[in-house]
Amino acid sequence: MSETALRALSLPRRTPVVVGLDGYPTRVADRLVEAVREEWRVEEGWWTDRPVRRRYMEVALEGGRVVVVFEDRRAGGWFAQHGC
């Protein structure tokens, strides 16, 4: 029997995001945001030494690509998870 290594898919990576006055992304990694399709927040682990506070958005970029970005509200910065 062989061992199979597991690897994480779609790890978030720091991504340059330009935000408008309304707090929503206007550009992601030099691509224009055509629409914010969905928004949600994750706040968990507040009882641990590594709490998570993130604001997620699924955005449609120019050309039709859809990407999930999130703002790390605890440590700061924006990250992308899909397709960017």
pLDDT digits (tens, 9 = 90+) for 9-23: 668 899 999 999 999
3 in any annotated domain: no
68 in any annotated domain: yes
Domain hosting 25: range is 13-80
2 in any annotated domain: no
Kindly report the pTM of this predicted structure. 0.81
27 in any annotated domain: yes
Region of 18 please: left (phi>0), alpha (psi -120 to 50) or beta.
beta
6 in any annotated domain: no
33 in any annotated domain: yes
Residue-averaged pLDDT of the chain: 90
Under 8 Å between Cβ of 67 and 83: yes
39 in any annotated domain: yes
1 in any annotated domain: no
